[in-house]
Structure 1
Amino acid sequence: MNLYTVREASELYFNKNISVSHIYNLIRSKSLNCIYIGHKILIPEEALENYCKANFNIKQENL
């Protein structure tokens, strides 16, 4: 299981197409699941994938 910080999720997973502040808003509104360890927020890669599948029109093609 890969875990991302909010900044890593913005930069690495979303390629800076979604801002850090928007990711915080998604977490605050319970639209994106995360793990709290003290004050640190970690986002599982599976949560990011589920968010994308539920909110973006992504077509998967069989290769």
Structure 2
Amino acid sequence: MIEQKLFSVQQAAREYFCGKISRAKIYQLVQQNQIESIHVGKRILIPESSLDSFCQLNSTVPNREKEVV
């Protein structure tokens, strides 16, 4: 069985996103099903792979401007 790190909403905001995304925003993303989560009673746990997937799907790579010769 593969072990996977689970984050609480607060841990995801503080540790995974280094405080750059608020807890409220993470709750919103979970509610909108943009981040997969596990609900245990009132507690929300977020697998690290879900956070990785969210970041990968929502990251952009800047376009390099072509040089004019």
Q: TM-score, normalised on structure 2? A: 0.81
Equivalence map 1:1-63=2 (5 Å): 1-57=4-60
What is the root-mean-square deviation of aligned Cα atoms in Å?
0.9
Q: Identical aligned pairs, as a percentage?
A: 34
Corresponding residue SS for 2:53: helix
Corresponding residue SS for 1:43: strand
What is the alpha-carbon distance in structure 2 between the residues aligned to residue 11 and residue 38 of structure 1? 22
More helix by share: 1
Work out the number of aligned pairs and report it.
58
Unaligned runs of 5+ in 1: 59-63
> Which protein is bigger by CA-based radius of gyration?
2
Stretches (4+) displaced over 2 A: none
